[in-house]
Amino acid sequence: MQKRLKQKLQQGGSFLVIAEVTAGLHFNFTPIERFLKGFAEQGYQAIPKGFDFVSISVPQNPGGMANIEPVDVLGRIKLKNLLNGLDFLPHISCKDHNTDALVSMLNGFRSADVESLLVLTGDKPIRSKGVFELEALGLLRVIKHLNSHIFASARTDRLDKAYRYFPGAAVSPFKYTEPSQMQQYFKMEKKIASGARFLITQLGWDWKKSQELFSYTRENNIDVPIIGYVYMLANNKILERMHAVDVTGCFVSDRLLAKVKSETLDDHIDRAAQQVAMYKSMGAAGVDIGGVHDFDTFTKILNRAAEIGPDWEKYKDNLYWPLEGGWYLYDDDGKKVPLSKPRKKLKHRVFNGFHSMLFDRKHCGFHVFRAVMKFLGTKKGKGFFYKAFFCNEKLFKYVLFNCAECGDCYLPENFSICTIGDCEKGMDNAPCGDSTADGRCGNNLDIMCVGEKIYNCAAAEGNIDVLRRRINPSRNPALEHTASILNYLFEKDHTMTHPFISIGESVHASIPNTGQIMRKLADLGPDAYEKDSPQLDYIKALIQSQAADGADYIAVNVDAFGETDPQTAVDIMKQYVKLVRKFSDGVPVCVDSSNDDVLIAGLKEWYDTDEPVKPPMLNSVKTYTMHNVLPLKKHFDFVFIGLLMSEDKPTGPGGSHSIDELFGLAKQLFDEATKKYGFAPHEIFLDSTVFPLAIDMPMQPDVPGYTYRAFETMKKIKSDSKMKDVHCSLGVSNCVRDLPGRKIGVMRAYVHTAMKYGCDAGIVNPRHKLYTGEPAPELMELVSAYAKMDGSTEKCNDAMALMSNFCRNTKK
């Protein structure tokens, strides 16, 4: 039967064993084949009781040298039928593949039904140029994003069968300086936050350091399974290279070198076995055994480990080869040592001073600087003044920061340190695991690891907690070799804000498939929203995928639950608000309901946490309900969508609201919200409601269309001197109801047209990114015709002719 690492790790209960198998030089498959043939001959009965041999792991171009790709290894293994029920754990690294290539590789693994992956930044290539467009965190986030999309679009009746990647990541407790070690622990936490489901340690021979890792994870309530990497040291070239700091990230002390050189093969096996027993006793989920080339030696290690059992402490001396004077997070009594507080360096002070004077958007220096640069025409990214500025920027930033012209500058986020120019891998999120025992870069011993520098600057600023949490998004490769300062000034870099606020619409109980899952989830009982289930995973995927697609808010609507008992909707909203808070990566919730009790309960629940959260959104508030909801502003910060509808009978043409009436409702909401309840204009979103284009046909002459009225109302609101800073929002999906096709295209054209009238927010599927790209001209023409349908026969005929053409062509 096929074993699954994922399943075993999720179930727990057995001590897992993975064998790391590597091809020989010159793409030689023989060592892998020999190992697996040995296993085929001896079978599982050669593995001692208490050890569950579950998988082989295959490094990708280890040591930065070209070798057989893991997917190719898998192909050959399958061809020769050598897996014998074992799982296959490929390493996937960012060193020699760009983002697209990694996504393609992931797709290959999906087709081959490989779920578990070990995600690594990877070794710096020896002969080729390293890519590192992503590093481990970036790749984990790509995988998380893929997983959410795969799951959110899976068949809802087969969720338990839906495929998902199960990524793991590396962690090294074997660093001997405070900055390097703490950065490793922080990065481990960031890897988990980015989606790592298990961890495999770096190799190292210091039981105190191994124990430190388990103490740290316990102290910080990290329950992700940890697999100890056990590398069998032998008297060979690798040993010499590790000792000579020629294998990055590994530390072999002089004493350990001498000891291993004096030993026999049995001694080497014994040390590896002692380490296996040690990890088992410390609470690891399993071990990954490397440096072993034949199945006999592999089973000897396991059998000896079984003999040692819990008595590993007898061999502590043989597992303790530290750096003399090396740093440990806990003292011998298990007490945490105080962390250092270095002084700010002059360069760091100069950077901070400059930054706050010229680049802080709250500072007038920023606005003057920006205005001058705009006046000189540098925003276009070309011309004399642009080139002159870029030339000076390059010189200045190169001399001061080793700037490598990425164009998407993270100096402020990295406490004045450049992770491109100052790092051999040019990583978005430093460090990797390659630093030496004394904190130098393992790929260039002449420099300190950039992770050390960042840590020291963060500690000097008293901002270690910020460093601990901060995950930099991947840089925009299109900005490479452009002026980063101008990109920042004109919001072309990662600080860019979008011209359209997206409110993700997918968690809505009235959407048939989603509603069905939401009901099934509710039926699972009181702990349904905490206990793993395919239904909960589906909701998680909806939340995560919208957050990853750039939603500014994640809307939740559970009104369908309140049809018979309104209290049910209140209770369920609270659960969904918690889920958004937990899984949205900081994107705030939009509590969407026509029931004020649900809105109020959702708002209160959002703030029922000690964690800092962004202000949520409430949708919707009307003139006749605002006095129930808006007073809460005094106690809870929030923004709201005000719906332009009233209980009074409309008096406009055709028996619906006129533009003046809609504007009057907007003004009423605005005045009350700002004057009575203390809302700033930008905290108010006004929604003039979207009518489906397919039925937006006035039945009487001289009656303008609904789309016309909605758009003209927005225009009027945005032209009002007091209301110009409010947001105009629309429930965009409504516009395509009953259309025969091209719905995304029509919505894109609708948003682009609406934006011309002042719309800057919408309830949408953020994945569609409706505000970007060029809408099809014929669809723009169609929507524009509706936007202009002012009641005249001519405009009405234009719109109808375009609509019938559209329907005819689309049906074809």
Amino acid at the residue 368: V
Map the footprint of ligand SF4 across residues 710-729, applying CB under 6 A: none
Q: Which distant-in-sequence residues (6+ apart) come within 8 Å of 263 by Cβ?
A: 235
54 versus 170: smaller Cβ distance to ligand SF4:
170
Separation of alpha carbons 503 and 762, rounded Å: 6
Tell me: does residue 431 bind ligand SF4 (CB under 6 A).
Answer: yes
Task: Give the bridge partners for 231, in sequence order.
Answer: 290
Tell me: does residue 202 bind ligand SF4 (CB under 6 A).
Answer: no
434 versus 661: smaller Cβ distance to ligand SF4:
434
Tell me: does residue 662 bind ligand SF4 (CB under 6 A).
Answer: no
- Identify the residue among 17, 234, 247, 449 touching ligand SF4 (CB under 6 A): 449
Minimal distance in Å, beta carbon 453 to ligand SF4? 9
Separation of alpha carbons 549 and 769, rounded Å: 8
434 versus 760: smaller Cβ distance to ligand SF4:
434
In this structure, how many other beta carbons lie within 10 angstroms of the beta carbon of residue 675?
Answer: 9
Tell me: does residue 450 bind ligand SF4 (CB under 6 A).
Answer: yes
Tell me: does residue 451 bind ligand SF4 (CB under 6 A).
Answer: yes
How many binding residues for ligand SF4 (CB under 6 A)?
15
Tell me: does residue 170 bind ligand SF4 (CB under 6 A).
Answer: no
- Identify the residue among 430, 539, 684, 739 touching ligand SF4 (CB under 6 A): 430
Minimal distance in Å, beta carbon 435 to ligand SF4? 4
Which of 231-239, 448-456, 515-523, 591-599 is the region at the interface with ligand SF4 (rule: CB under 6 A)? 448-456
Q: Which distant-in-sequence residues (6+ apart) come within 8 Å of 790 by Cβ?
A: 704, 708
- Give yes or no for a contact between 553 and 590, defined as CB atoms under 8 angstroms apart: yes
87 versus 405: smaller Cβ distance to ligand SF4:
405
Separation of alpha carbons 390 and 12, rounded Å: 56
The dihedral through the CA atoms of 93, 96, 99, 101 has a sign that is: negative
The shares of helix, strand and coil residues in the chain, as percent rounded to the nearest 5, are 50, 10, 40
- Give yes or no for a contact between 685 and 728, defined as CB atoms under 8 angstroms apart: yes
Tell me: does residue 183 bind ligand SF4 (CB under 6 A).
Answer: no
Tell me: does residue 432 bind ligand SF4 (CB under 6 A).
Answer: yes
184 versus 506: smaller Cβ distance to ligand SF4:
184
Which of 288-296, 400-408, 430-438, 504-512 is the region at the interface with ligand SF4 (rule: CB under 6 A)? 430-438
Q: Which two tokens stand for residue 797?
A: 């005929």
Q: Of 492, 493, 502, give the one whose Cα is nearest residue 474.
A: 493
Tell me: does residue 502 bind ligand SF4 (CB under 6 A).
Answer: no
- Give yes or no for a contact between 238 and 247, defined as CB atoms under 8 angstroms apart: yes
Separation of alpha carbons 37 and 494, rounded Å: 51
- Give yes or no for a contact between 734 and 771, defined as CB atoms under 8 angstroms apart: no
Tell me: does residue 443 bind ligand SF4 (CB under 6 A).
Answer: yes
Minimal distance in Å, beta carbon 431 to ligand SF4? 4
- Identify the residue among 212, 288, 428, 434 touching ligand SF4 (CB under 6 A): 434
Beta strands in 261-401 (DSSP E): 286-290
Name the phi and psi angles at 128, rounded to 5.
-110, 175
Separation of alpha carbons 247 and 123, rounded Å: 9
In this structure, how many other beta carbons lie within 10 angstroms of the beta carbon of residue 175?
Answer: 31
278 versus 430: smaller Cβ distance to ligand SF4:
430
Amino acid at the residue 323: L
437 versus 501: smaller Cβ distance to ligand SF4:
437
Tell me: does residue 736 bind ligand SF4 (CB under 6 A).
Answer: no
Minimal distance in Å, beta carbon 406 to ligand SF4? 14
Minimal distance in Å, beta carbon 58 to ligand SF4? 23
Q: Is the peptide bond before 704 cis (omega within 30 degrees of 0)?
A: no
430 versus 690: smaller Cβ distance to ligand SF4:
430
Which of 38-46, 150-158, 165-173, 445-453 is the region at the interface with ligand SF4 (rule: CB under 6 A)? 445-453
Minimal distance in Å, beta carbon 451 to ligand SF4? 5
Tell me: does residue 441 bind ligand SF4 (CB under 6 A).
Answer: yes
Tell me: does residue 247 bind ligand SF4 (CB under 6 A).
Answer: no
322 versus 426: smaller Cβ distance to ligand SF4:
426
Task: Give the bridge partners for 728, in sequence order.
Answer: 686
Judged by DSSP in three states, 760 sits in coil
Separation of alpha carbons 202 and 182, rounded Å: 15
Tell me: does residue 424 bind ligand SF4 (CB under 6 A).
Answer: yes
- Give yes or no for a contact between 225 and 285, defined as CB atoms under 8 angstroms apart: yes
Minimal distance in Å, beta carbon 424 to ligand SF4? 4
Tell me: does residue 425 bind ligand SF4 (CB under 6 A).
Answer: yes
Tell me: does residue 125 bind ligand SF4 (CB under 6 A).
Answer: no
Minimal distance in Å, beta carbon 396 to ligand SF4? 23
Which of 141-149, 418-426, 656-664, 686-694 is the region at the interface with ligand SF4 (rule: CB under 6 A)? 418-426
Separation of alpha carbons 562 and 168, rounded Å: 41
- Identify the residue among 435, 506, 557, 575 touching ligand SF4 (CB under 6 A): 435
Measured CA to CA in angstroms, residue 157 lies from 154, 516, 563, 677 at distances of 9, 10, 25, 47
Separation of alpha carbons 220 and 181, rounded Å: 16
Q: Which two tokens stand for residue 473?
A: 């998004």
Give contact residues for ligand SF4 (rule: CB under 6 A). 423-425, 427, 430-432, 434-435, 441-443, 449-451
